[in-house]
């Protein structure tokens, strides 16, 4: 916050800043001008507010996603970018009623039941119209599952794997999410194969405010979907405590529907390069969101920050050597069909995909850059973090892994991948919940992300040399 305020005062003390295509390419002054220009504009905040407050939730197949595509197309076209819409057929799953209660346990008073908070996972099937009543089988995680699978037939399996908030608060939130989320990702198909009646998964997230966290699950090809939901952490704990004294029975009702695939689009906006326009540096985020809230942090912040790269360069009238391609991906949350369609369209043009950047993790200030590149190339990114020093984004980290789900296919094909490193200690408090709303985003943090993406994208697009190809493992 202090560094951003200082930059604004610094700019205000100058008579003017007029940059054009003749400005020294990739120089410290040019990258500094890009960085500083982000604090002069509320464009990103205004666009994020429109996306979240005016459009709202944007699950694939919904009117909200269609409206978001139109808004982002119009916004980027108005900046002077060359905009195209890439048609994608996406899943259309609609959430219905979601109710559950603990109806039997040792010591239950006559006539009493205890309601619990659940939300269906994406792609869940419905229960019968009368609901489903069954005893609960508690399973800690997938390591314990093989020893308990024979007990699952006819029962509601409750996976109780816990998210470690301490890890999240020390910068390991994503790793912890992937670890604690294994029962959500792979448990339902395993339980279905064992004859379970349904699955409940302890919500994968940090702070426990009795908010269930939705999300996707992986259905095996030979296993049709069946009823599966996330349960609030407090209610999962309650069932565990009650089960220590004897059997627990739950009644649950889910009424989701899977409708025919719907038409959606990737929004692609090119800020055309001045010398090598056929070569592309992608900067991107996903436009869809889950339906419980308005998707401010997942991934409104990322997709709008990426679009704002075009806005900053348009305002400064700066064109790099290569084309900077903004992509608002569709259907990241429950299918990934947006990036699959793009990958199919560029299969014979992979050499033109110079670099790919994605922002889809974190809700705080930018801390630096994560790069999936060769070890020899990493030091060449030092000018980027030097330019970002006034806003505190000074960390440069190398990885051998994918840095974003929508650019993962490109990375596996050898396209170097990049992501802004964002403060994320409380990201999983709100992730995939009804609390993912605009108030969770600080305007100064949004600006720091725009600055990081814009400086990085311009540097890569304007660098005179070649960027070594780097494949991540499948």
Q: Is 245 helix (H, G, I), strand (E, B) or coil?
A: coil
Rg of the chain (C-alpha set): 24
Q: How far apart are CA 280 and CA 295, in angstroms?
A: 28
Q: How far apart are CA 329 and CA 336, in angstroms?
A: 9
Residues in the chain: 474
Give the HSE-up count for residue 297: Cα atoms under 13 Å, Cβ half-sphere: 26
Q: Is 413 helix (H, G, I), strand (E, B) or coil?
A: coil
Q: How far apart are CA 404 and CA 358, in angstroms?
A: 6
List 176, 332, 333, 402, catalytic entry: 332
Q: How far apart are CA 102 and CA 116, in angstroms?
A: 7
114 touches 101 (CB < 8 A): yes
Q: Who's near 237: CB < 8 A, 6+ residues apart?
A: none
Q: C-alpha dihedral over 377, 379, 381, 384, to 10 degrees?
A: 180
H/E/C letters for each residue in 335-388?
CCHHHHHHHHHCHHHHHHEEEEEECCCCCCCEEEEEEECCCCCHHHHHHHHHHC
> How many Å is the maximal CA-CA distance in the chain?
81
The count of other CB atoms within 10 Å of the CB of residue 203 is: 32
* Active site annotation includes 423: no
Q: Who's near 330: CB < 8 A, 6+ residues apart?
A: 60, 65, 69, 88, 90, 264, 265, 266, 286, 287, 288, 337, 338
C-alpha pair distances (Å), 248 with each of 138, 143, 150, 433: 10, 23, 18, 27
Q: Which of 229, 242, 220, 227 is nearest to 104 (CA)?
A: 242
Q: How far apart are CA 212 and CA 234, in angstroms?
A: 10
Note if the bond before 32 is cis, omega within 30 degrees.
no
Q: Which residues are catalytic?
A: 332
């Amino acid at each position: 916050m202090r560094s951003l305020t200082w930059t604004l005062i610094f700019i205000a003390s100058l008579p003017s800043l007029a940059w054009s295509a003749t400005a020294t390419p990739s120089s410290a002054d040019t990258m500094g001008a890009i960085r500083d220009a982000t604090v002069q504009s509320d464009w990103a905040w205004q666009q994020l507010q429109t996306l979240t407050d005016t459009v709202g939730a944007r699950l694939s197949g919904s009117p909200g996603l269609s409206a978001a595509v139109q808004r982002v197309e119009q916004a980027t076209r108005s900046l002077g970018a060359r905009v195209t819409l890439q048609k994608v057929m996406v899943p259309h799953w609609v959430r219905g009623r979601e109710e559950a209660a603990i109806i039997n346990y040792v010591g239950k008073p006559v006539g009493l039941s205890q309601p619990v908070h659940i939300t269906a996972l994406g792609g869940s099937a419905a229960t019968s119209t009368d609901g489903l009543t069954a005893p609960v089988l508690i399973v800690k995680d997938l390591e314990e599952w093989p020893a308990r699978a024979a007990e699952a037939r006819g029962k509601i399996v409750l996976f109780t794997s816990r998210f470690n908030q301490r890890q999240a608060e020390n910068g390991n939130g994503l790793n912890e999410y992937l670890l604690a989320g294994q029962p959500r990702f792979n448990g339902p198909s395993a339980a279905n194969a064992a004859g379970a009646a349904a699955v409940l998964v302890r919500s994968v997230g940090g702070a426990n405010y009795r908010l269930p966290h939705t999300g996707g699950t992986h259905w095996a090809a030979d296993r049709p979907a069946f009823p599966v939901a996330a349960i609030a952490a407090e209610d999962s704990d309650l069932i565990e405590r009650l089960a220590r004294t004897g059997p627990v029975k739950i009644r649950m009702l889910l009424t989701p529907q899977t409708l025919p695939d719907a038409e959606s689009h990737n929004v692609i906006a090119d800020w055309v390069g001045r010398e090598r326009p056929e070569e592309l540096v992608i900067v991107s985020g996903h436009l869809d969101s889950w339906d419980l809230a308005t998707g401010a942090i997942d991934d409104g912040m990322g997709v709008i920050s990426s679009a704002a790269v075009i806005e900053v360069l348009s305002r400064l009238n700066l064109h790099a050597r290569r084309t900077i391609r903004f992509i608002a991906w569709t259907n990241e949350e429950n299918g990934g069909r947006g990036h699959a369609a793009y990958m199919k369209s560029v299969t014979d043009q992979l050499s033109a995909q110079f670099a790919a950047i994605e922002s889809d993790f974190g809700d705080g200030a930018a801390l630096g850059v994560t790069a999936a590149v060769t070890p020899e190339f990493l030091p060449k990114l030092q000018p980027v973090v030097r330019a970002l020093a006034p806003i505190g984004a000074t960390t440069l980290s190398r990885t051998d892994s994918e840095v974003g789900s929508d650019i993962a296919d490109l990375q596996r094909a050898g396209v170097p991948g990049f992501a802004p490193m964002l403060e994320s200690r409380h990201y999983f408090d709100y992730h995939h919940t009804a609390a993912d709303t605009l108030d969770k985003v600080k305007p100064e943090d949004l600006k720091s992300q725009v600055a990081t993406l814009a400086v990085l994208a311009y540097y890569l697009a304007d660098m005179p040399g070649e960027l070594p190809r780097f494949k991540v493992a499948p």
